[in-house]
Amino acid sequence: MDQQRRKIIVHEIEHWQKSKLLPDRYCDFLLNLYLEEPEQKQPDRLSGRAATAAMRASGKKWLLAIVIFSLICFVVLHFNAFHPLLQIGISVVSFALLLVYGQRIRKRNEAAGLAFIGFDMLALLGVGTYILRLNEWDNWGAKAGLLVGFAVLWIVYGIWSRISLLHLAGWAAIVLLYAWALSRRDMEPSWYEVQLYWVPMTFVFAWLSWFVQRWSKQVAMVLFVIGGLIWFMPELYGTLFVDIDVSWSQLLLFAKIAIGGSLLFALRKQWIAWVA
């Protein structure tokens, strides 16, 4: 049989085995028929595949791996001595490369790819915070600018790559930044002012959810969820940053749960059509 055709058949059988389309014993039997030698079967575990790849790698690939590893060690050891612009450039380039690699992993394994992309985002946030402290840019404006930049990145990339959790995290970061900015005010607001700071935003996000649902149900769902979270933010903000009576805050919370639940029930046909 033609070698190329044999490889295609073996690849299909391995796909059947991974997808559980056929029992393992049948797949093993078919693989033994089409493989020239039993050792040709690809290992199922990651460690086995890595060992096979290392064994088959040529001398040039080994040399390239050693050079890349040495370069990474050099950058990590001398990172603090680099110019701030070079630190930022290295971080951005590394982040972009890992993001591309995460997308490649996601095509083969959705969960692993999403985990890798999430780790990449958090790692860049940690490196960005470290660069701010290293260069003594730890004032409020620099921290707020960093958080806004990451929030916009998460929102844009989450929408583009259809990662709802990342999109949601971007809006959550903006909400936290808004709360942080309000807490820096010298004057302590009253309970009704706290409500005015937050409640109108709920209706804005609800309107945005309705507006974008004709193009993307996924984006509409995220906006609707953020609007629901903001509905309860006054009570959380009042508990953390404002000296509001706990009993009054709890009373407002239960009243808003009742009002919000009634609105969701009365308008269930409308908002379910937006997000489903």
Both ends of the chain: CA-CA distance in Å? 50
Asked if 42 and 93 sit in the same domain, the reply is: no
- Residue ranges in the chain modelled with pLDDT below 50: 37-40
Question: Does a structural domain hold residue 250?
Answer: yes
Which domain, by its residues, includes 107? 59-138
Question: Does a structural domain hold residue 109?
Answer: yes
CA distance 72 to 69: 5
How many domains are there within the chain?
3
Write down the pLDDT at residue 156: 92
Integer angstrom CA distances of residue 28 from 40, 53, 70, 217, 250: 12, 22, 42, 43, 63
Write down the pLDDT at residue 237: 83
CA distance 224 to 205: 6
CA distance 103 to 121: 13
Question: Does a structural domain hold residue 96?
Answer: yes
Question: Does a structural domain hold residue 51?
Answer: yes
Asked if 109 and 214 sit in the same domain, the reply is: no
Asked if 193 and 232 sit in the same domain, the reply is: yes
Asked if 49 and 101 sit in the same domain, the reply is: no
Asked if 132 and 182 sit in the same domain, the reply is: no
Asked if 31 and 117 sit in the same domain, the reply is: no
Asked if 176 and 276 sit in the same domain, the reply is: yes
| Residues 179 and 191: beta-carbon distance below 8 Å | no
Asked if 45 and 117 sit in the same domain, the reply is: no
Question: Does a structural domain hold residue 256?
Answer: yes
Asked if 179 and 263 sit in the same domain, the reply is: yes
CA distance 169 to 150: 10
Asked if 276 and 183 sit in the same domain, the reply is: yes
The total number of residues shown for the chain amounts to: 276
Question: Does a structural domain hold residue 77?
Answer: yes
Write down the pLDDT at residue 50: 57
| 3-state secondary structure (DSSP) of residue 2 | coil
Asked if 271 and 184 sit in the same domain, the reply is: yes
Write down the pLDDT at residue 194: 84
